[in-house]
Structure formats: C-alpha cells, structure tokens
Structure 1
C-alpha cells in the first residue's frame, strides 16, 4: 500500500479578521525547516513591531514530527495551541502561522480569544492552494527528436490524469523526459507508453522521492 503524507501549502497567504474592534492578521507561509519558520516569525514581528501580540504555530517535517506554538503574551492556551490544532486538523506540515493582533479595546475572554485565533488561521487556510505530498517513482523516457513533440504531449496528458509530476526535459542525442509517478502505476505506465509509442519506447525507472503535486 502506498504511504500517505501530510499536505502543505503552495504559497504564502495573508488574511485579516475583525473581532470586536481587534484586528487579527493571519500570515501563513510554507517552510522547509524550523529554522526557516523562525526566520518568518522574526520577519513578521519586525514588520508588525507595534502590534500587541504576534502569536505563532508551526508544523514541520515530512511526517509532522516537529510542532511548536507561542501565545506571545496572550493568556496561556488561548492562541498558539488553538492555531496549532487548526494546522493539525487540516493535516498540514511544513507551514508556519503567525497571527498578529492589534487590540481594539474590548476584552474577548479566553473562549473569544481561542475562537478568534483559530478562525483567523482557518479562514486563511481556506484561501490557500494545497500541495499534496506523495511518494513517487522516477520514470525516464528517452525519445528520438522526430517523435519528441508527440510523446511530450502524451506524457503530459498521462501525468495529469494519474496524479504524477512532469519533470524537466533534457535534449541531447535524444530527448529525455522525466516523470514522477505513483509506484503502484508502474506497470500501467509501461503499458500506456508502449501504446503511445507503438511499442518502440520503454521507461527506465529510478529512485523514489517525496514530491509535491498540485
């Protein structure tokens, strides 16, 4: 059975929420490490230095093995942990959330803060483009230049229809195409490539790796 991995987001998202005159500005940024997440947090804090709070939550690692949060001066458990729980419920990793709060003069209470911070992150995630992380198998196809255009189109169509990623094309003595395909589709790819090429082409399979697929 193919192993499944947490998703991540394709690009940074910023969204603002107003709750009883307090401004909650949610920043979501894809990252590859705790160090990169810390850099994002530091950058947001520099930009919003005059805010009352810049609360944070992050999940990193291919298997979501690292997680951290901070209430940044809000009552314990009312900001960072609720934000982190949203990221976990959505099944995400390699993402950092920073919610900047400008106090509006009306106290929200513990329940109100939990709802505001979790909603700010959830609403921002609703606008994010997700990348689905998959373990895929490298498949290289070497094609004579005369057939390269036709095979290129066919391979791209196949990749789009089978949850695969179309890699770079290298032109040398032959046109070399690289696809990253689900390991379970290995035999299917061999058969479909044979049909596409009239039996003249067969793939060379290489390593597996974790690939982000839109």
Structure 2
C-alpha cells in the first residue's frame, strides 16, 4: 500500500485545435484495469465518429501495468507519447485518452507527437494533479477544561480537525497522516499530561493540491 502518490483528482477534459484537427484530452483517476478499460470505452462511444481515440494508462504501486494504443496512428506517434506524459508527471493510477478529429492537414510524425503530448497535458491539467495521501482517523477524548489548549495546538501544528462532539467529554476527530499516527499519540499524551484517550478510526485518503486538502 502506498502512503502517498501523485495522481489526478477527477475526470477532466480540454480540447485544442492544431492545423484544423481537433484534439480532445481526457484524463481520469482509475484504480483497476477494468475501470481504465471502461473509461476508455466510454470515451470511444461518446466520440465514435472521431478519427482516432488514442489512450494510455498506468496502474499499480510500482507502475506494474502500463498500456497504450495508437488507435491507427503511425506507430510511436500517439500512444507512447501519451504514456510518457503520464510518466513525466509522475502520476499513478491514471488513464488518459486523446480524441482526434482529422481536419484534412497531415501533421507528420513529429507534429503528431507534439499534438498528442499537448492533448494529454491538457486533459491532465483539467483533471487536476494532486498528491493522494493516506490518513488515519483518530478520536481524541478530553475534558472541557483543556479543549482550548488542545484545539489551538492542533491547529497551530496544521492537524486536520474533522469534527468535534460535545458530550460529557469532548471528542475531537482528527485526521493524521498514516505514517505519523504513533508520533501523534505520543504528542497528545504529552500535550494533555496523559489526560486524554485516543482511539483509532478508519483509513481515509485525502487529496492535496496547492497546500489545501480535498476529500
């Protein structure tokens, strides 16, 4: 299991015209080969009148699965360039399709490569590159008397307070990077002088973009 990696956040689509041919870049996060194939088929169905639907995808913790297709374009001018864009961005679990509607002007091998690279980059840009980070949801139970101290210190140290429940005690639901959960427990024990109880919740991935977290 990867604790963090670069990927895209959501489906994105953007188009560009190059010498009268229209290139449409599509990108989407995928977690399995079946999901990648379904995504590619959906684009092909939507653009079934297109001249080409070139695709590439990378899957796995170690990029074990890498597939691409030129979809009728000259070998090496389409699928590989799209795959290389995904690699150059350091993305995992990402599928990209570049749709082409031929405009009547031949681009040549180098022109095709540049066009498909541009289309792939536009699709990825529209899908938003993010860092996907594994967090542990922790529940910190404390007395009301130390709530202000604990809450302020958590915020000062950039911990994510997801929720606060007010019962006979105060329960703070805090998202902590998975790799730091043991250090966090020690930190809370020290901060509260052992006047706290920490319980583990589930694991959750958050997406970080420009120093902001998205779920």
- Give the TM-score range, shorter chain: 0.7 to 0.9
> What corresponds to 1:88 in structure 2?
87
Offset at 1:51? 0.4
How far, CA to CA, are the matches of 1:150 and 1:95 in structure 2?
43
**Does structure 1 residue 213 correspond to structure 2 residue 207?**
yes
Alignment of structure 1 residues 108-119 onto 2, 5 Å: 108-119=107-118
How far, CA to CA, are the matches of 1:210 and 1:64 in structure 2?
22
Greater strand share, 1 or 2? 2
Offset at 1:147? 6.8
> What corresponds to 1:201 in structure 2?
196
> What corresponds to 2:183 in structure 1?
187
Larger displacement relative to structure 2 (177-186 or 80-89): 177-186
Change (3 A) 1:112 1:133: same
Alignment of structure 1 residues 53-132 onto 2, 5 Å: 53-132=52-131
Alignment of structure 1 residues 30-69 onto 2, 5 Å: 30-69=29-68
How far, CA to CA, are the matches of 2:145 and 2:41 in structure 1?
52
Larger displacement relative to structure 2 (37-46 or 122-131): 122-131
> What corresponds to 2:212 in structure 1?
none
Change (3 A) 1:103 1:173: farther
Change (3 A) 1:132 1:155: farther
Offset at 1:60? 1.3
Q: Secondary structure at the match of 1:110?
A: helix
Offset at 1:157? 2.5
Question: Aligned pairs, how many?
Answer: 206
> What corresponds to 2:155 in structure 1?
157
TM-score, normalised by the number of residues in structure 1: 0.78
> What corresponds to 2:211 in structure 1?
none
Larger displacement relative to structure 2 (180-189 or 63-72): 180-189
Offset at 1:124? 2.9
How far, CA to CA, are the matches of 1:70 and 1:170 in structure 2?
52
Q: Secondary structure at the match of 1:6?
A: strand
Q: Where does structure 1 lack aligned partners over 5 or more consecutive residues? A: none
Q: Where does structure 2 lack aligned partners over 5 or more consecutive residues? A: 209-215
